[in-house]
Amino acid sequence: MAIQTVTTHPIPGQRPGTSGLRKKVHTFSQPHYLENFIQSVFYTLGDCAGKTLVLGGDGRYHNRAAIQTILKMAAAHGYAQVLVGRSGILSTPAVSCVIRKRQASGGIILSASHNPGGPDGDFGVKYNIAAGGPAPESVTEAIFHHSETITQYRISDAADIDIDTIGTVQLDGMQVEVIDPVADYAELMARLFDFEAIRALFAGGFTMRFDGMHAVSGPYAKAIIEGMLGAPAGTVINAVPLEDFGGHHPDPNPVNASELIALMAAADAPDFGAASDGDGDRNMILGRKFDVTPSDSLAILAANAAVAPGYRGGLKGIARSMPTSRAADRVAAALGIPCYETPTGWKFFGTLLDAGMATLCGEESYGTGSDHVREKDGVWAVLFWLNLLAASGKPVQQIVAEHWARFGRHYYSRHDYEAIDSEGARLLMADLRIKLPALAGTVLNAHTVDFADDFAYTDPVDGSTVQQQGVRIVMRDGSRIVYRLSGTGTEGATLRVYLELFEADPTQHHRPTQQALAGLIAAAESVASIALHTGRATPTVIT
Ligand code: G6P
Ligand code: ZN
């Protein structure tokens, strides 16, 4: 066995997006593609000698092959140890948990999150830092710059190792420890939540379905919800991770989790429904014939955080991404704690969590989490809701309705125009930016514009700044329209239009969402000429 130096050349397009480098499997499996990117990561990190790396993924197609390559490259760069999840499986929040618990220097997550998997699907690589969270922009940009000038990479020529058996093996002088993917994570959950109360809830006949969507959260949900909490077998459905997620789109929203939505609408629907995404960091929360928006979920968990032992000491602050509704802001105001507004992307919460300024974080894109790790966490959110349901004894819908009655309701929806022409999308945003200065004071479908801008952010902890994070039009009545181009797509561009309408009056809290937002939807089209620029009369996905 020896370390090889392989000659290569830069391959364009290796700039990480909102959440790591995501490309089609066909792109990732071409010669040198993965190796170039991983070498660029190691160049950026500098001296890796003697360090520990955590490695795992969501089990999608190409996961196992990529793990073998990365192990051999880690050995060639002098890592002392790599902790790899059995069979290459580790959810994104579990990687974050293991990095922190084992004091590793960082981790590599192989996932394209909720994007479809399989030979024609997507693959992705993301580097997480020692704090457990996604690398900040300074690191991802440095990786990209290395990828533009790379001429060689180092890799061991050792044979593939067995990653399906728990235990320790040597690889060219490096120790590879194959770990149980669930154990450390489950132990952390048991410390945060009142498992006794949740066990009593299930023992009393409470019913639930958790949809693992044939992705990574299945093993975690089975071990914790059925195993530790005593829910009946069959509570977790689609629990076995498959390389192509069973041909489905592992994105927990009412459009893609249609099987679960149908179950929750049936006459014999369970009391509670939940789902997670490809890599286990997203969550969707459902009651009977009722879905909780991610923005409301964040606000409700924040308002009720004291039910969970891990949060009984109070919250230091709440953070949400800019397009996420302002429901959480009202809770923060009531609690007398700050609410931070960050750009889209979980990485922007890292500094706030590290500095002890925020405890709970959330995004409209079905992401919720806290300072327990540095990623959003699907199973964690579900356990938090179970804890709340056990403590309150009320159904999901009643908890939400009571929250609205107290704080007001933020009607909220996101309209996505997927895989549109990139140039059309660029022009739409450029035209919109030109219009911004003239919008203040104008009336859009009975909503008077308070201000309109292109969201820029200065991190209050490290002072770093980012520009052009989404165009927002904010009305005097508290409504908003936000336009953003997705940073996670792999085909053309995706335009996201986020719509939010505040309603204080409880008699007006039970209207169909799209109906309540109709005026804002029409205003969004009239300001941005969406149909003209995208060639689409309607969105591809409405959540
Ligand atoms: C990933 C990130 C999230 C982000 C989401 C949507 O899940 O971890 O932080 O909100 O992608 O990103 P996009 O750029 O596609 O709107
Ligand atoms: Zn994800």
DSSP for 306-325 reads GGSGGGTT--S-EEEETTS-
Which amino acid type is present at position 535? G
Task: Tell whether ligand 1 has an atom less than 6 A from the beta carbon of residue 16.
Answer: no
Q: What is the interface pTM, i.e. ipTM, of the complex? A: 0.96
The pLDDT assigned to 18 comes to: 75
- Of 122, 253, 364, 365, the one to substitute when testing ligand 1's pocket (max ligand atoms within 8 A of C-beta) is 365
Q: What are the phi and psi torsion angles at 3 (to 5°)?
A: -85, 125
Q: How far is CA 241 from the centre of its chain?
A: 18
The pLDDT assigned to 487 comes to: 83
Superfamily of domain 185-407: Alpha-D-Glucose-1,6-Bisphosphate, subunit A, domain 3 (3.40.120.10)
CA–CA distance, 9 with 19 (Å, rounded to integer): 25
| Ligand closest to CA 493 | 1
Check if the beta carbon of residue 410 is closer than 8 Å to that of residue 501. yes
The pLDDT assigned to 488 comes to: 78
Residues 6+ apart with CB under 8 A from 316: 337, 356, 357, 358, 359
Fold of 3-180: Alpha-D-Glucose-1,6-Bisphosphate; Chain A, domain 3 (3.40.120)
Atom 2 (ligand 1) nearest CA: 345
Q: What angle do CA 188, 189, 195 make, to 5 degrees?
A: 130
**Residue from 352, 370, 351 nearest 360 by CA:** 370
**Residue from 400, 221, 187, 224 nearest 310 by CA:** 187
CA–CA distance, 467 with 322 (Å, rounded to integer): 13
Check if the beta carbon of residue 107 is closer than 8 Å to that of residue 53. yes
Whether the CA torsion 30, 34, 35, 36 is positive or negative: it is positive
Measured in Å, residue 113 CA sits from the centre of ligand 1 at: 9
| Helix extents (H) in 55-129 | 63-76, 92-101
Domains 185-407 and 409-542 belong to one CATH topology: no
What is 409-542's CATH number, 3.40.50.800, 3.30.310.50, 3.30.430.20, 3.40.50.9100? 3.30.310.50
Active site residues: 113
CA–CA distance, 489 with 189 (Å, rounded to integer): 31
- Domain limits of the chain? 3-180, 185-407, 409-542
Atom 6 (ligand 1) nearest CA: 365
The pLDDT assigned to 9 comes to: 97
Check if the beta carbon of residue 322 is closer than 8 Å to that of residue 455. yes
The rounded mean pLDDT for the chain is 96
The pLDDT assigned to 408 comes to: 97
Task: Tell whether ligand 1 has an atom less than 6 A from the beta carbon of residue 496.
Answer: yes
DSSP state of 508: G
Spans of the chain, pLDDT less than 70: none
